[in-house]
Chain A
Amino acid sequence: MAETEKIVLTKKDRQAVFMRTWLLQANWNYERMQNVGWCYAMIPAMRKLYKDPEDQKAFLKRHLEFFNTHPYVAAPVWGVELSLEETKANGAPVDDAAIQGVKIGMMGPLAGVGDPIFWGTLRPVLGAFAASLALAGSILGPILFFVIWNAVRMAFLWYTQEFGYQAGASIAKDLGGGLLQKVTMGASVLGMFIMGVLIPRWTSIDMSSIVFATTDYGSVDSAYPAATELVNALNGVANGATITPDILSNGLNSFSSVAGSGYSVVQQMADQAGNAYTGAEQYRMVGTTTLQSVLDQLLPGLLPLGLTALCMWLLKKGVNPIVIIFALFGVGILGALLGIW
């Protein structure tokens, strides 16, 4: 058979395998991990390449061996294995050890690339972007997440499987080449940059309840007369006073300056010595110095940064993330009990 006509896996056969690779992890088990999913995807190739029942049996058995890698970067391994099986079916002496060896040899380094790129960078970055849209109530968040993720995934699965098939056994050498490292490095640069942005922005730790001091910065009236003018005008509306655009805009600008400088407007009847404030003087600009405002002056986002560093250290020490999550909930409850937030 092999002498007369070469059996070739057509594009259609390879597509049949491609469609099945999505189930790689379906039977993920603690013994041989992705072995059944791997074998499942190879079945269309077996039906094409081997007609003899004994050959088919041997094929199934050798593809039920241990396998575990990142589910997407398994695609080039399939490509290589398809080309190896094709060579073997056409009579070349490719033994089972070579077929298993290529699988095992490729899965480790590839998982080391796939995990940081897909789980470590692409999904968090895309997820964070989509979540920011979703938190604004936009359905575009989930839609973009779904479309972009799956477009990237399917293109990656198909083209790397084809690449593996074309490159055959020589792919193992290409892994040492620069491209994968380059992609990994570029993804890490982008990922770390975005993490730097997200940590201070999307972590809410507010220490404003811990107040060190409150200071009186004088009456609103003397600093911003326009504000008093607006308040007086508002109070007089019922009696027929009119509010001109000038009064309104000057007054509002004054209020936003007060708020923008970090002061609260507080009505006080008397100063600390007990001398009574009268009229517009009662409205004081009060600045509070809290733990949060001190930290923000030092560096905005300092607490989230410190907490992240602590978590990274704990994770590196091998502490289970679930334990850390529960500990942080404990901190939250403790803080609520002590009235810190």
Chain B
Amino acid sequence: MDINIFQVILVLIVAFVAGMESVLDQWEFHQPILSCTLIGIFTGNIETGILLGGSLQLVALGWMNIGAAVAPDAALAGVGAAILACIQGISADVAVATAIPLAVAGTVLTIFVRTITVGFAHAADGAAEKNDARGIELWLWLSVACQGLRIAIPAGILMAIPAEAVQAGLEAIPTWITGGLSTAGGFIVVVGYAMVMNMMASPKVWPFFFLGFSLASLSELGLIAMGIIGVCLALVYLDLSPEFNGGGNGGSAAVATAGGGSDALDDILNDYE
């Protein structure tokens, strides 16, 4: 697919911003649903971009940076797959499968950058020693620019490879690999779900999981209806659960009575001793 120099620059800007956002985690431009859509728009393949973004977003649902642990990199996965699908004309299924090795490569690169930035942090110490606030700001901007380049440079390389080479390379792969990969793409999402659930699960909320699981087989209920049911369940739970209704009148009265009762019992027990 032919794209002009302005489109190349726009895609590189998306890649740069996605790279910065993957560490900042603020505007979320590194999430595939945004990065793929933007690349789709700028390359004139809006439909492809949106669909690819939707599929990859599901895969990346649980990819999150917690503490010092670095998750698979959604930025390079989304940007790279979108370049393959929207510019190089690779099918969306295959693009989703290539996103995974790209995510791994992205993780390696971000670990590399996060190590380099130790040096930048020391440079910021030096600036502080000289009361140079401006210097600290510059080192910070330089750090985040490195994170941007971390995605923009691989994106440029992916665009520079001739489409025929990418196609030929992919066609050389036997169908049992591509077929197997795209089938696996259908259930690889469970890893993300598992990460999310390991974070949220506690004995008290497990019943709600199985409630949702059972209701899911009622195909008449759309996701929005499910969302409404979920919000209602959460509100009702918070209202009725004894651990949260300190402010509620009925609940607090009950707690107070229970507390008084146990105190009375304590008194009796104490008297016996």
The interface of chain A, by Cβ under 8 A from chain B, is: 22-33, 35-37, 39-40, 43, 46-47, 53, 56-57, 60-61, 64, 68, 71, 111, 115-116, 119-121, 123-125, 127-135, 137-139, 141-142, 145-146, 149-150, 153, 178, 181-182, 185-206, 300-301, 304-305, 307-309, 311-312, 314-316, 321-322, 324-326, 328-329, 331-337, 341
Q: Does chain A have a CB within 8 A of B201?
A: yes
**Chain B residues, Cβ within 8 Å of A314:** 194
Q: In the complex, what's the smallest C-beta–C-beta distance from B97 to chain A, in angstroms?
A: 8
Chain A residues within 8 Å of B124, by CB: 27, 36, 39, 64
B64 touches A115 (CB 8 A): yes
B236 to chain A, nearest CB (A): 9
In the assembled complex, which residues on chain A have CB atoms less than 8 Å from the CB atom of B46? 139
Contact A203 B186 (CB under 8 A): yes
Is B86 interfacial (CB-CB < 8 Å)? no
> Main SS of chain A's interface residues?
helix
Residue contact A197 to B216, C-beta cutoff 8 Å = yes
B190 adjacent to chain A (CB < 8 Å): yes
Q: A146-B28, A311-B190, A332-B184 are in contact. Are A195 and B37 (CB under 8 A)?
A: no
B25 at the interface (CB under 8 A from A): yes
Count of interface residues, chain B, beta-carbon cutoff 8 Å: 113
Q: Please state if A139 and B50 are interface contacts (CB–CB under 8 Å).
A: yes
Number of A-B contacts (CB under 8 A): 361
Complex Cα distance A28/B66, Å? 12
B159-167, B204-212, B253-261 - the one binding chain A:
B204-212
A64 to B139, CA, bound (A): 13
Partner of A57, one of B55, B103, B131, B186: B131
Residues of B bordering A, CB below 8 Å: 20, 23-28, 31, 33-34, 37, 46-47, 50-51, 53-55, 57-58, 60-68, 71-72, 97, 100, 103-104, 107, 114-115, 117-118, 120-121, 124-125, 127-131, 133, 136-137, 139-141, 143-144, 147, 176-177, 179-202, 204-206, 208-217, 223-224, 226-227, 229-231, 233-235, 237-238, 241, 244, 246-247
A137-B47, A196-B216 are known contacts. Are A43 and B180 too (CB-CB below 8 A)?
Answer: no
Ordered nearest first, which 6 A-B pairs have the shortest CB separation? A332-B184, A196-B212, A134-B54, A336-B180, A333-B180, A311-B194
Question: How many Å from the CB of A199 to the closest CB on chain B?
Answer: 6
Whether the pair B213, A138 counts as a contact (CB closer than 8 A) is no
Please, how many angstroms separate the alpha-carbon atoms of A64 and B180 in the complex? 50
Can you give 12 A-B contacts (C-beta < 8 A)?
A33-B68, A39-B136, A53-B131, A116-B200, A127-B60, A135-B54, A181-B244, A186-B235, A193-B226, A193-B233, A307-B190, A324-B191
Other 12 A-B pairs with CB < 8 A, given A57-B129, A115-B199, A119-B65:
A29-B115, A71-B26, A119-B199, A128-B57, A134-B37, A141-B37, A193-B230, A200-B213, A311-B194, A325-B191, A328-B187, A332-B185
A142 touches B50 (CB 8 A): yes
Find chain B residues with CB under 8 A from A192 CB: 197, 200-201, 205-206, 208-209, 212
